[in-house]
Structure 1
């Protein structure tokens, strides 16, 4: 199968393979490719043999996790019997390449692994784990952004079967500590059951455990040395999830891998020299000044407000707006100067600064003056006041008069709604069938006719059981991820299609569709769509996803923020197909379909 994919090969009629990239997994080739529809570079992993089906399934699960520090999976499929996974392009160097020049400084190792741990904590909360962490899957870009690749996919290719949630979380946490050990020492503390790290020296072992980092590199802080020793030791100590490790490592500073390497110079000892220079410049090497980064806060959005994190200062108390000014406390002496400016964690409430100038009538010492109305000037001559008594009596009298008129009118009107004594009152008499006739006994004109009751609906109210996307060029559908967002009842979430360079789907297909499956067959009279964008076209067809362009067109129209598609006559059905003949334009000017909600009535 090797000959099936090579330079010039076009996968799925879209991704043109350009040139090979290095890979440390067997039966997996990595290629730089170009997305011909969006005209952008992508990274394609071709799975030639082995656990191809589990790897493709893992890639689909990884695509559901969204975080800037995780390589985004763009497409998953097969080409002539060969599986492929398309992801965004990876920029920067891997941790394996960084430690080739020497160990990182403790601050940089802490920051790199902390960012990776925060990303994997986001994935863990979505039920997805890596399980195959190694130095080659952690990348650092030139601007200091950390990106982790191979989420769930590499473990499936290596045959690492996930166990229960607790064990998988512990596995990722321990492997993250192994990465920390590698950053501190330049050595990889390999595990017998885990992946290897080609190009990285193995860590020496003493009594069945890796030698503590402080014995291999200078300037390793006590907390990091202890963390590595207890986690990689024979006991089940240390963090049990990536989130636990984040608490152990935070706060950390900005990542300056590029500048540190340049300052230290090239060569195997460059990074060590940079670490030594940082240690000499800092007054307290065991407690380096670090800054909490904004990027890690997203992993803890669901923590209760005000929950203090280990290693962070206590929450700041917002200034109160009260009559008595708040007591002022003296601040501690500032910490030694550093390049990074400290930032408060996102969980702390913002401190409001009250303006010093106080409004008139308030005393700076006591909070208020003895007479808060001293600024009101009194007239020398008393003013004539308006007496509203007469006006109130007039209003009450009018109200009583109106009430008497209404009451008198009610006395001369019969319960049936006709004037008493006029002889036009109709009396409803039951018929043998139990029905009430519309007119009285005298064959009147139906003046006492009751309003006709609404006809009962044919079947229960329509309810959506599920949806699936339809693509005439792909049996799996059009962007199968996150379809549940279109029916979750939350207008802030949405499903979106691929982005095309023209509203006619780039000339690649005649349209795309969404099959709407109802909970049971019932009567439907219309469909309402919530769309982020305007333009394009949609048809509602009475058919199924197996024949999306067949069936009667029940309604059609142009897309907008709220698109109401009402049928000419209600139909009884168990499924509908929304067939989009042309793409709308979203707020960013892109030709892409974004559906916030689908509702049937």
Structure 2
């Protein structure tokens, strides 16, 4: 493959190969490269031999799974007959590099494997499985993030068998527990039919065909983790069967802190060991160093009058705490709790503010690097998690602001009270013209006999029948009539025929003949007026020409009964005038033949109905 892909090779006219990277898979070369279009670093896997086609297909399936804990597949292709897979650049070291320096603390092992299990559960729900999980594909960055690489791709390259959904989920779950075992002990539990390539790790001791429980190799392993490993890696199909079940077994876990240095290593050691910044805590915890708080106060006191104070860095967490180190931590080899020594003298806490309780952490506190603090009391390894300088004058008195809520409520109350007074006066006013009658009724006060405005009883008009309104009839409502259905035809669109908007209209179904395709004799519209009125004409706005309509003064219960008032052919403005006006409150428009609309189809479209 070196003849095809090497330093300076440009894949797909985009990815320039730079430097080789280590790999534990045969027939695969890993390179650091640069995406020349997006100007970013990427990682290139060159597949020179083996199941190249299935591996490329597996990489394409893995690219469909999106999770921040899974290494993203950016591109897949071939170059001069050699397959390649482009993934995002991976920052941090692998779990295999971490356990070379010693096993992780149980809580950190729980957190790392828990994050990896959550990532594989996301992939499982998309139908993608890893099937080649091992410590070298679990990466931990210095900021505490976990990344899993090789999803589906590595299994295709090593030829891992693929079963049904239950078997593959169980296989990934068992591999996750094997990784947990390795994180706790530094040993890799081997199986007799194992195809997963694991190098540079000692195999776990075996007893009666099963790995020895982690608690018998390393002291301090919690009972739940020890039981989880023993049961899952035992001879029976016990333990969790999916990554989701494993997540529930491991929850809850804390923050991953193994990326933070415990002691400041030398430059030469950092250069020779890439995992130097990720090692587990030493056997004996470092002696707590008192934070140089007095030096900061002295620096404040030495400032000349009127000079600005140097800025104090913000606390790492919202809760305030003292400058004490963490209360306790666990020895990774003995499992015993080693309490830190309390400094001989501590600076006094400002009056009026009680000291906060020191917060307990899952791991040991980071020690102050050699040489003390950085001059401001804030070294990179300072163990304090809160503000170590709780000065009494840190918090300035907050200026009291005016709250207008009370004033607004008072104004609203006054307005409501005034409204109630006016409403009461209006309600009880105007009743002075009537007096209570002793018989229980009311009597009208007599008016001045000298006035001519009050007519006598003899001149009062006799009651008569209500007169028919002479105003133009107003349409109150409209309904559609379908002889075949009591629900009408397109009933929900009928109001559009009287909304005074010619751009909207009620319409019928589309038929292949003007006689409704022989399915029904006609359709109709029942127009209901607000009051009984004298009607002499009906004007229709129709989108189309042809067809026929009949007008009767009847109801939808009997649309064809009654005298035929008018009939005619439909057009854009169809005016149907009666021979004589008719006093009525309902009119039925009975369409016996469909017009042709603008598209040449047999459909009735009525955009306006006016009654005159």
Q: TM-score, normalised by structure 1?
A: 0.52
Measured on the aligned residues, the alpha-carbon RMSD in Å equals 4.6
Residue 387 of structure 1 deviates from its aligned partner by 7.2
**Residue of structure 2 equivalent to 1:217:** 218
Residue 419 of structure 1 deviates from its aligned partner by 12
Which of 406, 426, 435 lines up with 2:568 in the alignment? 426
**Residue of structure 1 equivalent to 2:90:** 90
Matches within 5 A, 1:133-532: 133-192=133-192, 193-259=194-260, 261-262=262-263, 271=279, 273-274=281-282, 277=285, 281-282=328-329, 337-339=359-361, 383-386=424-427, 407-410=532-535, 412-413=537-538, 416=549, 425-426=567-568, 451-453=595-597, 455=599
Instruction: Indicate the structure (1 or 2) with the bigger Cα radius of gyration.
Output: 2
**CA-to-aligned-CA distance 1:54-75 (integer Å, 9 cap, x gap):** 0000000000000000000000
Could you tell me whether the CA contact under 8 Å between 1:264 and 1:273 is conserved in 2? Answer: no
Q: 1:380 to 1:31 in 2, by over 3 A?
A: closer
Residue 262 of structure 1 deviates from its aligned partner by 3.7
**Residue of structure 2 equivalent to 1:72:** 72
Distance 1:227 1:276 in 2: 29
Residue 261 of structure 1 deviates from its aligned partner by 4.9
**CA-to-aligned-CA distance 1:578-599 (integer Å, 9 cap, x gap):** xxxxxxxxxxxxxxxxxxxxxx
Q: 1:405 to 1:119 in 2, by over 3 A?
A: closer
**CA-to-aligned-CA distance 1:266-321 (integer Å, 9 cap, x gap):** 89999565477599925999999xxxxxxxxxxxxxxxxxxxxxxxxxxxxxxxxx
Could you tell me whether the CA contact under 8 Å between 1:213 and 1:220 is conserved in 2? Answer: yes
Distance 1:55 1:399 in 2: 88
**CA-to-aligned-CA distance 1:98-129 (integer Å, 9 cap, x gap):** 00110001111000000000000000000000
**Residue of structure 2 equivalent to 1:18:** 18
Q: 1:255 to 1:377 in 2, by over 3 A?
A: same
Residue 2 of structure 1 deviates from its aligned partner by 3.2
What residue ranges of structure 2 are gaps of 5+ in the alignment? 287-325, 338-355, 363-384, 386-404, 407-412, 432-466, 475-528, 540-547, 554-562, 576-591, 602-612
Residue 207 of structure 1 deviates from its aligned partner by 1.2
Distance 2:242 2:133 in 1: 14
**CA-to-aligned-CA distance 1:434-456 (integer Å, 9 cap, x gap):** xx9x999xxxxxxx996524649
Distance 1:248 1:224 in 2: 9
Distance 1:336 1:84 in 2: 52
Distance 2:207 2:165 in 1: 31
Could you tell me whether the CA contact under 8 Å between 2:550 and 2:566 is conserved in 1? Answer: no
Could you tell me whether the CA contact under 8 Å between 1:140 and 1:146 is conserved in 2? Answer: yes
SS in 1 for 2:147: strand
Residue 405 of structure 1 deviates from its aligned partner by 7.6
**Residue of structure 2 equivalent to 1:496:** none
**CA-to-aligned-CA distance 1:245-277 (integer Å, 9 cap, x gap):** 100001001001122554899899995654775
Distance 2:94 2:149 in 1: 10
SS in 2 for 1:257: coil
Could you list the structure 1 runs, at least 4 aligned residues long, displaced by more than 6 angstroms after superposition: 263-270, 283-288, 376-382, 387-390, 397-402, 417-424
SS in 2 for 1:143: coil
Could you tell me whether the CA contact under 8 Å between 2:188 and 2:204 is conserved in 1? Answer: yes
Distance 2:469 2:81 in 1: 87
Q: 1:280 to 1:408 in 2, by over 3 A?
A: closer
Distance 2:117 2:11 in 1: 34
Could you tell me whether the CA contact under 8 Å between 1:92 and 1:141 is conserved in 2? Answer: yes
Distance 2:87 2:33 in 1: 10
Could you tell me whether the CA contact under 8 Å between 1:9 and 1:17 is conserved in 2? Answer: yes
Distance 2:283 2:600 in 1: 79
Could you tell me whether the CA contact under 8 Å between 1:2 and 1:48 is conserved in 2? Answer: no
Could you tell me whether the CA contact under 8 Å between 2:328 and 2:360 is conserved in 1? Answer: no
Of stretches 250-259 and 135-144 in structure 1, the one that deviates more from structure 2 is 250-259
**CA-to-aligned-CA distance 1:527-555 (integer Å, 9 cap, x gap):** xxxxxxxxxxxxxxxxxxxxxxxxxxxxx
SS in 2 for 1:42: strand
Could you tell me whether the CA contact under 8 Å between 1:105 and 1:275 is conserved in 2? Answer: no
Distance 2:234 2:81 in 1: 44
Distance 1:135 1:241 in 2: 19
Q: 1:19 to 1:418 in 2, by over 3 A?
A: same
Q: What is the number of residues matched between the two proteins?
A: 361
Distance 2:530 2:208 in 1: 104
Distance 1:212 1:235 in 2: 15
**CA-to-aligned-CA distance 1:434-488 (integer Å, 9 cap, x gap):** xx9x999xxxxxxx9965246499xxxxxxxxxxxxxxxxxxxxxxxxxxxxxxx
**CA-to-aligned-CA distance 1:151-179 (integer Å, 9 cap, x gap):** 00000000113110000000000000010
**Residue of structure 1 equivalent to 2:55:** 55
Distance 1:260 1:399 in 2: 97
Q: 1:380 to 1:164 in 2, by over 3 A?
A: closer
Distance 1:5 1:133 in 2: 27
Distance 2:220 2:327 in 1: 10
Residue 218 of structure 1 deviates from its aligned partner by 1.6
Q: 1:88 to 1:422 in 2, by over 3 A?
A: same
Could you tell me whether the CA contact under 8 Å between 1:219 and 1:275 is conserved in 2? Answer: no
Residue 194 of structure 1 deviates from its aligned partner by 3.2
